[in-house]
Structures are given as C-alpha cells and as structure tokens.
C-alpha cells in the first residue's frame, strides 16, 4: 500500500520564477491538503482540495494556487517566487468526504518538497 508521495524532493529556483509541486495521495484517500513549513516552525495550512475543488484556504496570497485531478493527485503552484517562499512544502492526504463529517480523519503526510528560492 503506497503512502503519500511527492515530487520533486528538492528544488532550487530564483526570485520571480514559478514552481509546480506534485502530490499523490495514499491509496483510498480522496482529500489533499498542502502545508508550508519554514525552518524551526510548525506546518502552516495553505489549502485543501476535495472533489477537484479548493474546499478551504489558509492565509496565503493568490500567488499560491492548486489543482486536484480526477485520480485525486494534486499540484501546488507558486507564482512570482519570493525569497520567503523557501520552505518545506508538505502534502497530506485523508479520507474526508462531506464537510459535515470532517475533522476526525487522520491526515498522512508525504516526505515533502524542499524549495530554495535564491
């Protein structure tokens, strides 16, 4: 049973560039959440995708966007990269279903993509 996978593992970009990160959820999961983790900090929620739509969003600018595909995999896109975007980007998958039943499901994290913006 494959766990959550992410690609690439590491990435170096320069300011102003755009980046796309990819995530494949754990088998049987339908929901993908993205988090940004700066060094020495806890993960910060970016957004969550369910049924190919952004279901909720954290306090991140519009430069951060995403997509979920019919096979439940997901992409995170960041435009106009800033130095402060350097971080570990974590994808977490879960089986949420409708919002009214949400909150109890465990989120399982992938290994992350470490992004360095120069």
Partner 1 sequence: GQNIDQPTEMTATEGAIVQINCTYQTSGFNGLFWYQQHAGEAPTFLSYNVLDGLEEKGRFSSFLSRSKGYSYLLLKELQMKDSASYLCAPSSNTGKLIFGQGTTLQVKP
Among 31, 68, 74, 93, binds partner 1 (CB under 8 A): 31
Query: Which one, 44 or 65, has the nearer CB to partner 1?
Result: 44
Q: Which stretch in 16-24, 63-71, 74-82, 87-95 sits in contact with partner 1 by CB under 8 A?
A: 87-95
Cα separation, 22 vs 76, whole angstroms: 6
Cα separation, 8 vs 1, whole angstroms: 21
Would you count residue 108 as binding partner 1 (CB under 8 A)?
yes
CB of 58 to partner 1, least distance (A): 7
Do 116 and 98 contact (CB within 8 A), yes or no? Answer: no
Would you count residue 7 as binding partner 1 (CB under 8 A)?
no
Total site size for partner 1, rule CB under 8 A: 29
Angle at alpha carbon of residue 48, lines to 46 and 51, rounded to 5°: 155
Q: Which residues contact 93 (CB under 8 A, 6 or more apart)?
A: 4, 23, 25, 26, 29, 31, 32, 33, 72, 107, 108, 110
Would you count residue 60 as binding partner 1 (CB under 8 A)?
no
Among 30, 67, 73, 111, binds partner 1 (CB under 8 A): 111
């Amino acid at each position: 049973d494959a766990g959550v996978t992410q690609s690439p593992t590491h990435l170096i970009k320069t300011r102003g560039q755009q980046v796309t990160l990819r995530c494949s959820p754990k088998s049987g999961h339908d929901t993908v959440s993205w988090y940004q983790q700066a060094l020495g900090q806890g993960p910060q929620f970016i957004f969550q995708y369910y049924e190919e739509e952004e279901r909720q969003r954290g306090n991140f600018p519009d430069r951060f966007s995403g997509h979920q595909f019919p096979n439940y995999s997901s992409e995170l896109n960041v435009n106009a990269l800033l130095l402060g975007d350097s971080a570990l980007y974590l994808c977490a998958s879960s089986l949420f279903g409708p919002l009214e039943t949400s909150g109890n499901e465990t989120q399982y994290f992938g290994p992350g993509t470490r992004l360095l913006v120069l």
